[in-house]
Structure 1
């Protein structure tokens, strides 16, 4: 039994579940005023997040024990399913606040675009691990798989959801970079992607408003983006060094919009101060370290691309969220992985974690076997 247990990366798993548990605590703390308003129940959002957590934990332990190479067989079906689901969202999806991003199945609502992020990483890791020998050829090696990614990007833009669509491009770019593509090709792809995202941001009034508001939110207090950033600033300034105390945030009392989702980090800083900030950042750095180690020691190219791709993607999402709520970049609507309220985001994060943990398990098993052979 002990020999089986030592094959797992307990540092990675423990850190992730500490972060998720902390997220559950902060979802309750940040959402109970809104929960009372909506249903008269302060535990309204916590109960829903707990359901997703239980399901996510179940899926995590299943994925943890599925050999990661098995996903290569599923890639064609995942790509087809992703495209079909994205079309379904546009045809029969549920519209909320002018955006059609969700599919409802009775009381359950999911956001398919969250799952597309993982599907893109799996697809590109599979394809580019096969194309590794001629990845320096743009037309034959780099370009063909990206056509599928562009189709997914376009379908997500139509929802509309520029933040998630940009993350899909970022996932694709990360895998292309890790595959060893030539710098010239990376510059071309990066320039085209940045140009398309910038054009989409500037050509839509509400996105343009967010771009302007983040540069000087105090001059755009009546705009949603400016108001939201100002309330985030007040929350973080109010927290100071030690915080106001768990549950004692003032800004979550109907001042800060979305305090339990995209803007949960200002509530953390307000209530727990610098200690809350250091805990969150520290946990993400530990996950980055363990994911990087796993990618370095993975025995095949598919495992390397998958481990690096998922790990760096976690970090990009966390970084973009923290920068947005701190006013260092426009508000993107990207949730804070493992912490923000949202079933689809939590489920995808836990499945992704399970895949990386399985690669780490394979790495540790091979190292233990090699050590045993040396002793023999």
Structure 2
């Protein structure tokens, strides 16, 4: 019990995470009950499932925030193999929803393996590049080998297909390589290859091309590809400064498709206005700033890269999601971390942030030990 409530924990970070998650539960119910009744005849269908996942995620958060993070170094290769296995199982036996085969049914639960692969790859990349510090400036020996594994993972994810997740993993990979100390010329080369891969993926299917074209002028494609974005615009415009009131959204009344998942930010904007938006952005900003500071203070190269990877994975998802619902970026199907409905996303995000909290705890413990030694010297 003493370990659980240790003074070395960053309680401000932990409190922010849970505050945002509980806010997400409120918004999932507010945005989903009409859609739930339309689909299954039960107003509480989605929130009940999300509460179950929240309970599981909370237990896992408590465990992982107290579990020493250096252990994950030993698990990096098994996690890579598990990632490949899960993604192959999705290709062979995956459940198709909205023309995408991204899920596996395991008993009463439906999981999205690519969500778990995100944190697995961060652990793998942090372990590999932290062990290559002596020759990280050599491209063939230091930088390239882990990227071959990343390409295999991206290829399997694109079989689903899931361009949004593939792109987020690609960006986090680039950031981990950057923070590991790779040469600028190598980063430029990798950026060029990454942009080329994104362009290839984005133009390899008609529906992805339609999304890319329609987000620039959704009103030209108002009857099809632009419909959801236009309804999102209406929701955001309707909110104003303080919103129309919690639970009072008009757009969730079957105008905005799936308002509890990728477009939940639109409902937040409509019901709570700019005030609600600022609350959400402030919470994410705290997590981002805290994560960067934790990574910078960590003396263990593995822990530092792990902290940066987790932090920027969350940040990238936030940018992708909010960029999509506001029309600044194409729609990618990326959920809003800790807020959007979705058990796999909630579980993986909370476990990832619990690992970040454990790195923060380790940093504080080392600092306190250092201060105690100085006082006794």
- Which TM-score band applies after superposition, normalised by the shorter structure? over 0.9
SS class of match (2:211) = helix
Q: TM-score if structure 1 supplies the norm length?
A: 0.98
CA contact (8 A) 1:209 1:223 kept: no
SS class of match (2:281) = helix
Partner Cα distance (1:273, 1:66) in 2: 39
SS class of match (2:26) = helix
* Residue in 2 that maps onto 1:26: 27
4+ runs deviating over 3 angstroms: 1-4
SS class of match (2:198) = helix
* Residue in 1 that maps onto 2:359: 359
* Residue in 2 that maps onto 1:16: 17
Give a deviation string over 1:308-329, Cα, whole Å, max 9, x none: 1111111111011111110001
For the aligned residue pairs, the C-alpha RMSD in angstroms reads 1.2
Taking structure 1 as reference, are residues 134 and 2 closer, same or farther at Cα in structure 2, changes over 3 Å only?
closer
CA contact (8 A) 1:120 1:171 kept: no
Whether 1:183 and 2:184 are equivalent positions in the alignment is yes
* Residue in 1 that maps onto 2:193: 192
CA contact (8 A) 2:136 2:143 kept: yes
Q: Offset at 1:35?
A: 1.1
Taking structure 1 as reference, are residues 4 and 40 closer, same or farther at Cα in structure 2, changes over 3 Å only?
closer
Partner Cα distance (1:146, 1:33) in 2: 44
The within-5 A match list for 1:80-159 is 80-159=81-160
Taking structure 1 as reference, are residues 4 and 262 closer, same or farther at Cα in structure 2, changes over 3 Å only?
closer
Q: Offset at 1:203?
A: 2.6
SS class of match (2:96) = strand
Q: TM-score if structure 2 supplies the norm length?
A: 0.97
Give a deviation string over 1:28-69, Cα, whole Å, max 9, x none: 000010111122221111100000000001111111111100
Partner Cα distance (2:193, 2:4) in 1: 50
* Residue in 2 that maps onto 1:261: 261
Q: Offset at 1:3?
A: 11
Partner Cα distance (1:216, 1:4) in 2: 52
Partner Cα distance (1:294, 1:36) in 2: 44
Give a deviation string over 1:56-103, Cα, whole Å, max 9, x none: 011111111111000011111101111111111101111122211111
Give a deviation string over 1:192-235, Cα, whole Å, max 9, x none: 111111122123110010011100001110223x1111000000
CA contact (8 A) 2:231 2:255 kept: yes
SS class of match (2:203) = helix
* Residue in 2 that maps onto 1:369: 369
Partner Cα distance (2:160, 2:260) in 1: 23
Equivalenced residue count is 375
Q: Offset at 1:374?
A: 2.1
